[in-house]
Chains A and B, each alone.
Chain A
Amino acid sequence: MATVKTYDPELLRAERRKRENIRRLKGLGLHALLITTLGVMLYPVIWMVLSALRPETEIFGDMGFIPTNWTLENFVRGWQLYGNLTFTQFYVNSFIICALAIIGNLLACSMAAYAFARLEFRGKWWLFAIMLGTMMLPIHVQLIPQYIFFLNIGWVNTILPLVVPKFLAHDAFFIFLMVQFMRSLPHELEQAAIVDGASYWQRYWRIILPLSMPALATTAVFTFINTYNDFFSQLIYLTDTDRMTVPVALRLFLDPSGGSSSFGGLFAMVLVSIGPVLGFFLASQRLLTKGIATQGFK
Chain B
Amino acid sequence: MQEFRLKKRVAGSLLATSILALSMAVLPNGAAAQDSDLQGEIRFSWWGGQVRNDKTDRIIQLFEGQHPNVSIVRENADWSPYWERLTIQSTGNNQPCAITMQTRWLATYARPDILMPLDELVENGTLDVSGIPEPVLNSARGADGNLYMIPHGVFYFALMYNEQMAQTAADAGVAPLDYPYTWDEFAEYLTAILPHLPEGAASVHNMGREQDAFVTWVQSHGEEVFDGSNVGFTKDVAVQWFEYWEALRTAGVTEPPEVMISDNSALIEESNIANNRGFMTNRPPNQLGSVQTTVDTVSPGTTIGITPYPVGPDGTVGMDIGANGIAIGASCDEARVPVAAEWINFWTQNEEAAGIYESDNGVVSIPALATAQAEDPDTQPTQVEHIELYQELIDTANPVFWPAGGYQALTDTLNRAYDAVAFGQLTPEQGADQLIADLQQQLSQAAR
Q: Which residues of A contact B (CB under 8 A)?
A: 57-62, 81-83, 96, 99-100, 103-104, 143-144, 147-148, 151, 156-160, 163-164, 231-232, 235-236, 239-242, 248, 251-263, 265
Contact = CB atoms under 8 A, between A and B. Distances in A.
Contact of B17 (A99, A235, A252): A99
23 contacts: A59-B297, A60-B297, A61-B297, A62-B297, A81-B53, A82-B53, A83-B53, A163-B25, A239-B45, A240-B73, A240-B75, A252-B48, A252-B77, A254-B49, A255-B48, A255-B51, A257-B79, A257-B266, A258-B268, A259-B287, A260-B290, A261-B269, A262-B49
Contacts of A148: 91-92
Contact of A144 (B49, B91, B298): B91
Contact of A251 (B78, B283, B286): B78
A58 B52 CA distance: 22
Contact of A147 (B52, B73, B88): B88
Interface of B: 14-15, 17-18, 21-22, 24-26, 29, 43, 45, 47-54, 57-58, 61, 73-81, 84-85, 88-89, 91-92, 94, 96, 266-269, 274-275, 283-284, 286-287, 289-290, 293-294, 296-298, 360-361
B88 A260 contact: no
Contact of A235 (B22, B53, B85, B293): B85
Given A158-B26, A255-B78, A259-B52, 20 more contacts: A60-B298, A61-B297, A61-B298, A82-B53, A82-B57, A83-B54, A83-B58, A99-B21, A144-B91, A159-B22, A160-B26, A231-B81, A235-B84, A239-B85, A240-B29, A253-B50, A254-B78, A256-B79, A257-B79, A261-B290
B92 A151 contact: yes
Contacts of A236: 84-85, 88-89
Contact of A241 (B17, B58, B74): B74
Contact of A252 (B49, B61, B92): B49
B96 to A, nearest CB: 8
List the 7 closest A-B pairs by CB distance, nearest first: A255-B49, A61-B297, A83-B57, A256-B266, A82-B54, A260-B51, A251-B78
Contacts of A242: 29
Contacts of B274: 60
A253 B43 CA distance: 22
Given A103-B18, A236-B88, A259-B290, A252 B269 contact: no
A147 B14 contact: no
Given A60-B298, A252-B49, A259-B49, A239 B75 contact: yes
B219 to A, nearest CB: 21
B153 to A, nearest CB: 11
Contacts of B53: 81-83, 252
A43 B268 CA distance: 23
Contact of B49 (A61, A241, A260): A260
Contacts of B290: 258-261
B88 to A, nearest CB: 5
A144 B93 CA distance: 12
B85 A100 contact: no
Contact of B25 (A158, A251, A254): A158
B362 to A, nearest CB: 10
A102 to B, nearest CB: 9
Contacts of A143: 88
Contact of B50 (A156, A231, A252): A252
A278 B189 CA distance: 55
A251 B81 contact: yes
A211 B156 CA distance: 65
B267 A239 contact: no
A57 B300 CA distance: 11
Nearest to B102: A257
A283 to B, nearest CB: 16
Contacts of A251: 77-78, 81
Nearest to B3: A210
A212 to B, nearest CB: 14
A148 B94 CA distance: 9
A200 to B, nearest CB: 18
